[in-house]
Amino acid sequence: MTIAPDAERFQSSAQKYASYLETPEGRLRLDLPLANLQEFLPEGPRPLHALDVGGGTGANSVRVARLGFEVTLLDSSPAMLDIAERAGREAGVGEKIILKIGDAAQLVNLFTPRSFDLILCHNILEFVEDPFAVLRDAARALRNSSSTLSVLVRNRPGEVLKAALLNGDLAMAEGNLTSEWADESLYGGKVRLFTAESLRAALEAASLVVIATRGVRVIADYLPQKISRSAEYESVLEFERKLGCRPEFVAVARYTHCIARPADAVGKDSA
């Protein structure tokens, strides 16, 4: 995670973030996008190369490395990278993950064009100063027309429901209907909000074509106490996958997940 004025919050909260990713909510935020991505993974001779932008504690990088990719994890927080190094080693894929300290805003200077078959921008665009520039530079770093960009962002309608259903704050919920920013409960500070339409437009402006849009965490955050998200995790995961494929539920999910390819890949897949 990275944004220059707020870099300290990601450095000081690294362990808090790692602990959050062990909760049912955190696991769903990791597992659902990776499950969505499975059918759209790039093909080609191994090893394929992946870039995890703002990869933090390495939870996504470990999962992608287990799929056989050579992964470069980019993050601006040394504390996050320390946790990522340990995570890769303990998972037995440390040799497949290269840790690189740096800012997402510097992609164009850090990597040569056409370097990666898969790029993850999961929960990073909400924090960078210029998300459009990050997407443009990420598109430039994709290797060819079969390469894949996976983007996960905070969904504005999901923040409306969160404020109303979890916080019981109708004034906040109403404000979130049109707000571009919301309060970040984990790190503090603000987090940028997207709609499915605004994210698609940003991807298209970067000469990328959306081939799939999914919702992540549609109902899990609002389940009654009689349903244990821990004990019944697999059932919740599978139901969330079904909901996340349906446009009416994508619209109100906590996160929007878009999978895109370079414009010359149009027609190979459909959303």
Instruction: Name the pairing type of β-strands 49-53 and 70-75.
Output: parallel
Which class would CATH give 4-262? alpha beta
Beta strand ranges found along 34-69 (DSSP E): 49-53
Round to whole Å and give the CA distance between 126 and 185. Answer: 13
Q: Which string of DSSP letters, residue by residue, matches 108-168?
A: HHHS-SS-BSEEEEES-TTTSS-HHHHHHHHHHHB-STT-EEEEEEEBHHHHHHIIIIIS-
Residues belonging to the chain: 271
Residue 163 has pLDDT above 90, yes or no: yes
178: three-class secondary structure by DSSP:
coil
Choose the weakest-confidence range: 8-12, 49-53, 253-257: 8-12
Residues whose CB is less than 8 angstroms from the CB of residue 7 and which lie 6 or more positions away in sequence, other chains included: 76, 77
pLDDT tens digit sequence for 21-52: 999 999 999 999 999 999 999 987 878 999 99
What's the pLDDT band for 265 if we cut at 50, 70, 90? Answer: low
The answer to whether 116 and 143 are in contact (CB under 8 A) is yes
Q: Where would I find the beta strands (DSSP E) of 200-249?
A: 208-216
What pLDDT, on the 0 to 100 scale, is given for residue 264? Answer: 76
**For the chain, what percent of residues have pLDDT higher than 90?**
85
Question: Which candidate, 194, 182, 245, 200, places its Cα nearest to that of 218?
Answer: 245
Cα-based angle 46, 209, 71 (whole degrees, multiple of 5): 30
pLDDT value of residue 186: 78
pLDDT at 268: 47
Strand partners, 153: 256
Question: Which residues, including other chains, have CB under 8 Å from residue 1's CB and lie 6 or more apart?
Answer: 10, 17, 54, 56, 75, 76, 77, 80, 123, 124, 127, 187
Please answer whether residues 153 and 86 qualify as being in contact, where contact means their C-beta atoms are separated by less than 8 angstroms. no
Question: Taking the domains of the chain in order of start, what are their residue ranges?
Answer: 4-262
Predicted confidence (pLDDT) per residue in 177-195, tens digit: 999 999 888 777 889 999 9
pLDDT category at 3 given cuts 50, 70, 90 is very low
Give the pLDDT band of residue 220 (cuts 50, 70, 90). Answer: very high
Whether the predicted pLDDT of 76 surpasses 60: yes
Q: What is the pLDDT of residues 55-66, one digit of tens each?
A: 999 999 999 999
Q: CA of 19: how far to CAs of 16, 27, 73, 179, 199, in Å? A: 5, 10, 19, 29, 29
